A = this chain, B = another copy of it.
Amino acid sequence: MLVTCDPCDARRWTESTTSNRRVAIVPTMGALHEGHLSLVRRARALADEVVVSIFVNPTQFAPHEDLARYPRPIEDDLAMLEREGVAMVYSPSNDAIYPPGYSTFVEPPAVAEPLEGKLRPGHFRGVCTIVLKLFQTIPAAVAVFGQKDFQQALVVQAMVRDLDIPIHIDVAPTIREPDGLAMSSRNRYLSTEQRARSLCLSRALDACSQLAQENERSLASLESAMLDQLRPGQPDGADHVDYAVVVDRRTLHPVQQSISWQASDLVALIAARLGSTRLIDNRLLHSPPMTL
């Protein structure tokens, strides 16, 4: 496994490899867990060689966010990736990515505006910029992102389409703990007590999804079913709910109750806080099975 922090090295390796091998990239911020490893395995199924990037990207964190405390267990990460048969790990320094005088950014596509875009101003500008840069340095045929960051995957897909970047964006299913919590590097921030309460997110999505399958036609009911589980501010609920919405799964904009929608057009998305830890999760809704 080649481990490099040098963009020129990384590009040279990829260029020489892509001449006869199909390369997939899995962009990460490190602190790897089973969710990341599932992306790596999916990338291996889609390509001949897998590259993983590890970079805690400062431009996607707002000043008050958790950049400083974000976990960086690089030795553990490299050992895990070695075991997965990854061909190259690209782990650049901040200075290699944002040298003095750096000033070009990507203005993200429209799908970046609602939800995380509203709550985390500048977040997707940072995400788009680093992802575009990674795709220039590692000209892979395919990149694998996790569905857990649902809006991020839509934003990257729209950017790649708009900017004609020659890469396919594959979105892999969310991996969960046995009790339902979506895997996230931020889960390690949770105290035992918060960890127990964190299940309200997946329970809320279960409840919403169940109602949709039972052909509930009221979007307000689908959303209030989530809040019933999230119990914001209650001792057994989330400390704060940033959003818990059912929206169009392509645009992430609200669907008019009056127009004819199918549950399969919709996605339920949640962002909630437990203490100072912010968790997100989502679920694609499905229409009721056809009955004869």
Question: What is the interface of chain A, defined by CB distance below 8 A to chain B?
Answer: 7, 11, 19, 101-111, 125, 128-129, 132-133, 136-137, 139, 158-159, 162-166
Most buried by B among A107, A128, A137, A164: A164
CB pair A110 B101 closer than 8 Å: yes
Copies of this chain assembled into the complex:
2
Q: Bound complex: CA of A101 vs CA of B129, how far in Å?
A: 20
The minimal Cβ–Cβ distance linking A133 to chain B, given in whole angstroms, is 5
Between A7, A103, A109, A132, the greatest number of chain B beta carbons within 10 A of the residue's beta carbon is seen for: A103
Question: In this complex, what residue of B is CB-closest to A158?
Answer: B104
Q: Which of B101, B111, B133 contacts A163 (CB 8 A)?
A: B133
Closest 10 CB pairs of A and B: A104-B162, A103-B110, A136-B164, A105-B107, A103-B109, A104-B109, A133-B164, A107-B107, A104-B159, A137-B164
Residues of chain B with a CB closer than 8 A to A103's CB: 109-111, 158, 162
What 13 additional pairs, Cβ within 8 angstroms, besides A103-B158, A133-B163, A133-B164? A7-B164, A11-B166, A101-B110, A103-B110, A103-B162, A104-B106, A104-B128, A104-B158, A106-B107, A129-B163, A132-B163, A136-B165, A139-B166
- Complex Cα gap A110–B107 (Å): 15
Chain B residue at smallest Cβ distance from A107: B105
CA distance A11 to B139 in the complex (A): 14
| Least CB separation from A159: chain B residue | B104
CA distance A159 to B163 in the complex (A): 14
How far is it, in angstroms, between the C-alpha of A159 and the C-alpha of B129 when the chains are bound?
11
A137 partner residues in chain B, CB cutoff 8 A: 164, 166
* Bound form: Cα–Cα A89–B136 in Å: 24
- A103, B128: Cα distance in complex, Å: 13
Contacting residues, chain B, for A7 (C-beta < 8 A): 164
Q: How far is the CB of A141 from chain B (nearest CB, A)?
A: 11
How far does the Cβ of A110 sit from chain B's closest Cβ, in whole Å?
Answer: 4
Q: How far is the CA of A163 from the CA of B102 in the complex (A)?
A: 9
Q: What is the CB-to-nearest-CB distance from A160 to chain B, in angstroms, rounded to a whole number?
A: 9
A163 close to B107 (CB less than 8 A): no
Min CB distance, A155 to chain B, in Å? 9
Taking CB atoms, residues of chain B closer than 8 Å to A166 are 11, 136-137, 139
Neighbour of A19 across the interface among B11, B19, B139, B162, CB < 8 A: B19
Q: Give the residues in chain B near A139, CB-CB below 8 Å.
A: 139, 166
Q: How far is the CA of A107 from the CA of B165 in the complex (A)?
A: 17
How far, in Å, is A80 (CB) from chain B's closest CB? Answer: 26
Q: A136 to chain B: which residues have CB within 8 Å?
A: 163-166
